[in-house]
Amino acid sequence: MNEILSKLVVVSLSISLWTGRKKLSPEDLGLDFSKLPPEKLATLGSKKICDPEKLAVFSALKRRAERQCEAVGVRFLGGYAIPEDKADEVMKILDGVRDEFEKEKQEFLSEYDRSLREWIDANPEWAAIIEKGVEPASTAARRLGFAVQAFKVKNIDGLDKGLNEHASTLSERLIFEINQQARQAWEESYKGRPSVTRKALRPIKSMLDKLRGLEFLSPYLLTLAVQIEEVLASLPKSGPIEGRNLTSLIGILHVLGDLPLDEVPAEEEDEVAETILLETKSAEPVSLPSEWFF
């Protein structure tokens, strides 16, 4: 397990958001508190004291950082285990996202009071309710945060049982994530289509890059990556992808996504089944815990 850990860097994202929401009170709605059900049974929900569109950029940047980590790594120890040889590139990108987050934060805070007034003016009927929940800019400043750390993990003799058990599931976790990506690609780009454009190759190439980067986690991953590369290399360099070429791609997705054959048009079942057989005959996939699918 030390050999695997030595090839990984763990990237931890600590990104906090300010929702711009406050809890609704009975007084806000002119309700008699004594006539309301207890909070363990029901709550009144929340009120937006700030225009949600002003805050959307922070959620988008948080998701961008997460996607960058997910593109090359797998979940591990509360962060993402990524190949060591990709750590510098990933950190440069994340540093750029962090800088953009900080820039947007400063712009948001500089316009904070004016934005609140515009939100109140845009909802005059509920101005009193909004004003009761208004918080100072310092509260938003404390809540909005973006930090990223990268570190190596090393075993401690005699105290590493839990770490080893967790690390031993990395290949299974990777296969599970690839499984979900393949299913999404099938639904969004391939299902029910007699032909696809080269744009449809992007998710397959992304999955291939991820497999290649983490192929040291399991011999099965290397075998799978090589087989995908062979199929991609056999495709025409331009034009739509259809016929047997499309069938080969569908076969890849069925291997990666563990999709049932009833998802395939009847006229293509035999060809896809043959592709799946060729793709899997040389290695047994890692079995996945059933609870990961729920």
How far apart are alpha carbons 183 and 181 in whole angstroms? Answer: 5
Last residue of a domain, one of 151, 179, 204: 151
Same-domain pairing of 22 and 138: yes
**Residue 230 near residue 279, CB atoms below 8 Å:** no
Sheet strands (E) in 133-287: 145-151, 195-196, 241-242
Instruction: Report the distance separating Cα 173 and Cα 9, nearest Å.
Output: 16
Predicted confidence at residue 159, as pLDDT, reads 59
Token pair for residue 211? 């497999």
Domain boundary among 130, 151, 172: 151
Residue 289 in any domain: the answer is no
End-to-end CA distance of the chain: 28
The residue range of the domain holding 245 is 164-257
Residues 230 and 138 in one domain: no
pLDDT of residue 213: 94
Could you tell me if 219 and 143 lie in one domain? no
Please report where in the chains the tokens 């744009």 appear, as a residue: 199
CA distances from 251 to 180, 230, 237 (A): 16, 13, 19
Q: What is the dihedral of CA 172, 177, 183, 186, to 10 degrees?
A: -120
136 and 202 both lie in a single domain: no
Residue 247: inside a domain, yes or no?
yes
Tokens in use for 264? Answer: 């395939």
> Which residues of the chain form beta strands (DSSP E)?
8-16, 21-23, 46-48, 74-76, 79-83, 145-151, 195-196, 241-242
If one counts every other C-beta atom within 10 angstroms of the C-beta of residue 244, the result is 12
| Residue 215 within any structural domain of the chain | yes
State the number of CA atoms in the 13 A half-sphere of 126 facing the CB: 16
Quick check: is 209 in a domain?
yes
Residue 291 lies in a domain: no
Per-residue confidence (pLDDT) for residue 50, from 0 to 100: 93
The model's pLDDT over 123-153, given as tens digits with 9 standing for 90+, comes to: 999 898 889 889 999 999 999 999 999 999 8
What gap in Å lies between CA 222 and CA 174, rounded to an integer? 13
How many domains does the chain divide into? 2
Instruction: Kindly give the parts of the chain with pLDDT less than 70.
Output: 1, 26, 28, 30-44, 158-160, 259-294
pLDDT for res 115: 95
**Co-location of 131 and 222 in the same domain:** no
Based on the fold, state whether residues 46 and 175 are members of the same structural domain.
no
pLDDT, tens only, 235-274: 988 999 999 999 889 888 888 887 443 444 444 444 444 4
Amino acid letter for position 59 = S
